[in-house]
Structure 1
Amino acid sequence: MDIFKEDAQCQLNEKLNETRIKFLSLWENYNPAGFKQRYRESLKITEGKCLEIYEEEKQMCEKIQLTKKVIAEQKAFIEQTRLNMESVNKNFENIERQKQEVSEKIKKLKEGLLTKQELISTQKQENKAKLKELNTSAEMFKKRMGLEIRKVHGEQLQFIFKCISHKNPKQPFTFLLKISEEGNYEVTSCEPPLECMPLLQEKLKETNNFSAFLANVRKAFTTLV
């Protein structure tokens, strides 16, 4: 038992000796002035790192604000572009609609022009037929009743009747005639004047019988003698 006690005492003494040596070593290395200096240096390093981190965070905040500003500008640009596109689309739709309307108007004008050309062509044919009838009637009256026809200004024809007055067979009885745009016979003047001329014209318009019209005009002139 004594041997065991001695071994345990020896081991304890060794442990205590090691602890004393460590403590002394620590105590010898402990230097309050050096510890404060190292503390100040550590604080300075820490402060420098904190300043670096602060500057980095400050720059990061500036970058974030700049990015937000750029994003806002881009959003505004995109919105304005969208509005411009809508305006362009509306203008394009208006132009297409106006183009369609103009095309419809041109189509109607062309159709109206063709119709008018057809009417003019038909009217010309009718006028030719009327002139032919007029010439035929005039030739007949010229031979039988001394009628003379002259072409005067404004595409008008002058009809001159003679041999109406027994006292003066050469005395002229005249009237001017033209064909209107509507294709109707129209007396523009009469010498001497005949009060019944409007009625004779109306009857001519209804019957389209020019020979009868000339006969009636001559008969009316004879009543003036």
Structure 2
Amino acid sequence: MECKEQQGKRGLISSMDNFKEDSSNQLNDKLNETRMKLFNMWESCNLTGLKQKYGESLKMIKERCFEIYEEEKEMYDKVQLAKMAIAEQNALVEKMQEDIQIANQKFESDEKQKQEVLEKIEQLKEEFAKKQEFIYTHNQENKAKLKELNRSAELFKRRMGLEIRRVYGEQLQFIFKYINSKNPEQLFTFLLKFNEEGNYEVMSCDPPLECMPLLQEKLKETNNFPAFLANVRKAFIALV
């Protein structure tokens, strides 16, 4: 009985093994069939043709894009040229308007300018006449002052050893002697001129006198030149 059971088990195991083998064989057959179908489909696709068509399409797209770029660039340049031309025309129009406005203003102001020029000429004539009168008066005053200086110089020359020399055009040099009793020939000098206002102006003094500005201001107030010379001589004596 045990032998029958064992025989039955062996038959069952053998049947199962046969089933597994058949199933495995069927699966392998299906896989091989599928593999062959895929391979055939892959081979049926013309990859070279697809690549060529893709390259041609890409080239056409690039060429068209470049044409569009060139057209837009040319259009942009034309727009810029048109803007420049418009700006130049506007500037020319503005310049013409300014010229017309200036011409109108000049035309309108001609009579006014003519009147102003005539008034200016009359004003210059009056100023010139006043200037001539001032110069004449100034010269007369200077001549009178020079005459007074000469008269005073003669007096001081006789009494005080004063000598006057004309130097540097209108400037006069006053030279005193007999100031220093120990050295009577020692020279004490100052340089004088008439300034633009017609007043006396001391340019230099040797030896220097601290009181010279005060003496000069007093001369301006009193116009007494002999007294001025006397005061200068006293100041020189005080230095000895």
TM-score bucket (shorter structure): 0.5 to 0.7
Matched, 1:206 2:221: yes
2:158 corresponds to which residue?
143
Provide the secondary structure at the position in 2 that maps to 1:137.
helix
1:127 corresponds to which residue?
142
Partners in 1 of 2:225 and 2:103 — Cα distance? 67
Which one of 199, 208, 211 corresponds to residue 184 of structure 1?
199
Partners in 2 of 1:190 and 1:101 — Cα distance? 52
Partners in 1 of 2:239 and 2:118 — Cα distance? 62
2:108 corresponds to which residue?
93
TM-score relative to the length of structure 1:
0.60
1:117 corresponds to which residue?
132
Structure 1 residue 93, shift from structure 2 partner: 2.8
2:20 corresponds to which residue?
none
2:234 corresponds to which residue?
219
- TM-superposition CA deviations, 1:54-89 (whole Å, max 9, x none): xxxxxxxxxxxxxxxxxxxxxxxxxxxxxxx99866
1:116 counterpart letter in structure 2: K
Provide the secondary structure at the position in 2 that maps to 1:194.
coil
Provide the secondary structure at the position in 2 that maps to 1:159.
strand
Counterparts of 1:58-77 in structure 2 under 5 Å? Answer: none
Which one of 164, 179, 189 corresponds to residue 174 of structure 1?
189
- TM-superposition CA deviations, 1:124-153 (whole Å, max 9, x none): 111111000010000000000000111111
Provide the secondary structure at the position in 2 that maps to 1:113.
helix
1:163 corresponds to which residue?
178
Partners in 2 of 1:168 and 1:95 — Cα distance? 78
TM-score relative to the length of structure 2:
0.56
Between the two proteins, the alignment pairs up a number of residues equal to: 142
Structure 1 residue 96, shift from structure 2 partner: 1.3
Q: Which runs of 5+ in 2 are unaligned?
A: 1-99
Provide the secondary structure at the position in 2 that maps to 1:174.
strand
1:193 corresponds to which residue?
208
Q: Say if 1:97 and 1:168 are closer, same or farther in 2 by CA, change over 3 A.
A: same
State percent identity of aligned pairs: 74
Structure 1 residue 91, shift from structure 2 partner: 3.1
RMSD between aligned residues: 1.9
Larger RCO: 1 or 2 (CA < 8 Å, sep 6+): 1
Partners in 2 of 1:132 and 1:188 — Cα distance? 20
Partners in 2 of 1:88 and 1:188 — Cα distance? 58
Structure 1 residue 92, shift from structure 2 partner: 2.9
Structure 1 residue 105, shift from structure 2 partner: 1.2
Provide the secondary structure at the position in 2 that maps to 1:168.
coil
Q: Which runs of 5+ in 1 are unaligned?
A: 1-84
Counterparts of 1:33-48 in structure 2 under 5 Å? Answer: none
